[in-house]
Amino acid sequence: MRETFMNLIFKSALMAALAAGAPFAYAKPVKPPVSREFPKAIEPSKIILVGDSTTAVIGGWGPSFCAYHVTSFAACVDLARGGRSSRTYMQEKSWHLALKEAQVPGYRNVWVLIQFGHNDQPGNSRSTELAQEFPGYIRRYVDDTRAVGATPILVTPLVRRVFENGRLVNDLEPWAQAVRQVAKATGAALIDLNALSAAAAVELGPKQSERFAQLPRSTAPAKDAPARAQTEVNVQPTATPRLSYDNTHLGEEGADYVAAIMARALADTIAPMRPLLVVERRPDRRPAALEYRAR
């Protein structure tokens, strides 16, 4: 009873002091040591990459581009997927996800870079017919991108680094030409990566361009990882990249080189994107022997 009575006295005294404006140490406003900044809302942009393994993670130029060639005011999202053609990427609903990504509010500009062709070539179940079907799908990518308020940028397929008797064999040129024609017919922006990468491969030559591959030529083909023994806890294993030597996919050095080509080409072609692009990289990240020379 006494404790309750004392609590009432304390609470009454506290309320009276507050009512009278008595100073308390914890109630004093804290003055900041420096003037505070009240920044205005940012106006970021977004770059979405769509395509096959030559743009995707683990084999394409996209990861290096997003990591080293855009500023923090540009969200760079690599949605390219290995093994996809212009048809299968759309049919499996990957394109649906990319369009949803393009519609996320809050971005001043949204650009969608579209690169297909490798898996559209004949000889596999993913291919498309070159004369009508392939350009038809590329045109649909352009139309769908514009329908959601984003800007399409068509990219011709990365060259394969195949040489015969010292001469580059550009077997993707017909698909590159089809993309060029769609860009001209629709007025979409075009980055002619096929021509740019072909010129780079010719300049470097057969031996030097081997450095673009994921692994050295003498490396044995990758094998599936052995199955793990069961334990008390069923732990899901992590993914294992299937690296190999080939003349199509890119290792770190090749990805850096092609990403630098893309950054320069985009800066020269897409004026609103230019302030968001980092064209020159750190010297230690780009070997002098593979220095990109702007043409």
In tens, the pLDDT along 111-155 reads 999 999 999 999 999 999 999 999 999 999 999 999 999 999 999
For every residue of 132-185, DSSP letters joined together read THHHHHHHHHHHHHHHTT-EEEEEPPPPP--EETTEE--TTHHHHHHHHHHHHH
CA pair distance 108, 91, nearest whole angstrom:
29
Rg over alpha carbons for the chain, rounded to the nearest Å, is 28
- In order of their start, the domains of the chain are 45-217+244-290 (3.40.50.1110)
First to last CA, the chain: 92
In tens, the pLDDT along 61-116 reads 999 999 999 999 999 999 999 999 999 999 999 999 999 999 999 999 999 999 99
pTM: 0.81
Q: What pLDDT is stored for residue 234 in this prediction?
A: 58
What average pLDDT is seen over the chain? 86
For every residue of 14-75, DSSP letters joined together read HHHHHHHT---GGGSPPPPSSPPP-PPPP--EEEEEEESTTTSTTTSSHHHHHHHSB-TTEE
In tens, the pLDDT along 47-64 reads 999 999 999 999 999 999
Q: Which of 217-226, 240-249, 259-268 has the lowest mean pLDDT?
A: 217-226
How many CB atoms neighbour CB 95 within 10 A? Answer: 23
The yes-or-no verdict on residue 23 having pLDDT over 60 is no
Phi, psi of 57 (to 5 degrees): -65, 150
pLDDT-above-90 percentage for the chain: 68
CA pair distance 117, 64, nearest whole angstrom:
21
B/e letters for 48-58, b = 16+ CB within 10 Å, e = fewer, are bbbbbbbbbeb
89-95-96-102 Cα dihedral, nearest 10 degrees: 170
Question: If pLDDT is split at 50, 70 and 90, which confidence band does 169 have?
Answer: very high
Q: Which of 23-32, 129-138, 254-263 has the lowest mean pLDDT?
A: 23-32
